[in-house]
Amino acid sequence: MLIDNKGENLAEKWLSLDDEQPLPEGDITVSIARWLEDKEALLSRKGKLALRILGDTEIEALKDDLNHFQLIILEFPKFTDGRNFSLARILRKRLGFSGELRASGDILADQLLYLKRVGIDSFDLDEEQAKFAKQSLNELTVRYQTSADIDTTIFQRRG
């Protein structure tokens, strides 16, 4: 189920393309392997492009490619794997990615606020988790740290 980072439902506009599938028209998401292999064909095609990445991605190596993507999907095979939190933060604040960032896969409602803080705009997650999204996105209002959402630490914000 797809929601935005306020917990509102979103309609899926993207087609997720397997590495073997022929290139269709329209807005598609591809893996890094597909991107690296089919770069030219992908770029000469009509339609928008999105990249799917996993936590072990060396995201810095893709720096010069990022402007081709309207969306980057960070895939969570397991909710306990926190590497994507760092990748999102790096994409936003280091590599300057300004398109949509989406977290997808095994994600708990309780992680949404953290993901939003590191720069995620949308979530694709199980319905059982999505139904608690609004609640958990609003549970904690105090933020001690800087991240993609706020430039100051609590220490700077106080008095």
Partner 1 sequence: MYQYDQYDQTLVEERVQQYRSQTKRYLDGDLTDEQFRSLRLMNGLYIQTHAPLLRVSVPYGLISTRQLRKLASIARDYDKGYVHFTTRQNVQFNWPELEKVPDILAELASVQMQSIQSSGNCIRNVTSDHFAGICPDEVEDPRPWCEIIRQWSTFHPEFTWLPRKFKIAVTATQKDRAATQLHDIGLHLVKNGQGDVGFEVLVGGGLGRTPVIGKLIRPFLEKEELLAYLEAILRVYNRFGRRDNKYKARIKILVNALGVDTFREMVETEWALIRQEEQLEIPQHEIDRIQACFAPPAYKADSGNSAELETQLAENRAFSNWFKQNTSEHKVAGYKAVILSLKARGCPPGDVTEKQLDAIADLADRYSFGLLRSLHSQNLAFTDVQESELFGLWQELEALNLATANIGTLTDIICCPGLDFCSLANASSIPIAKEISERFDDIDYLYDLGEINIKLSGCMNGCAHQSVGHIGILGVDKKGVEWYQITLGGSSEEDAALGARLGPAVSKADITDAIGKILDTYIDLRLEQEPFLQTVRRTGVQPFKEKVYAD
Asked whether position 85 contacts partner 1 by CB under 8 A, the answer is yes
Relative to beta strand 15-16, strand 28-31 is: parallel
Of 9, 24, 94, 98, which lies in the binding site for partner 1, with binding defined by CB under 8 A?
94
Query: Strands of 71-76's sheet, edge to edge?
Result: 2-4, 122-124, 100-105, 71-76, 49-53, 28-31, 15-16
For 120, the 3-state DSSP assignment is coil
* Nearer to partner 1 among residue 13 and residue 78 (C-beta): 78
Over the window 32 to 61, marking each residue x when it contacts partner 1 by CB under 8 A and - when it does not, the resulting string is -----------------------x------
When the beta carbons of 34 and 122 are compared against partner 1, the nearer one is 122
Q: Count of residues binding partner 1 (CB under 8 A)?
A: 42
How distant, in Å, are the alpha carbons of 26, 39, 40 from that of 47? Answer: 4, 14, 14
Q: Which of 4, 48, 66, 136 binds partner 1 (CB under 8 A)?
A: 136
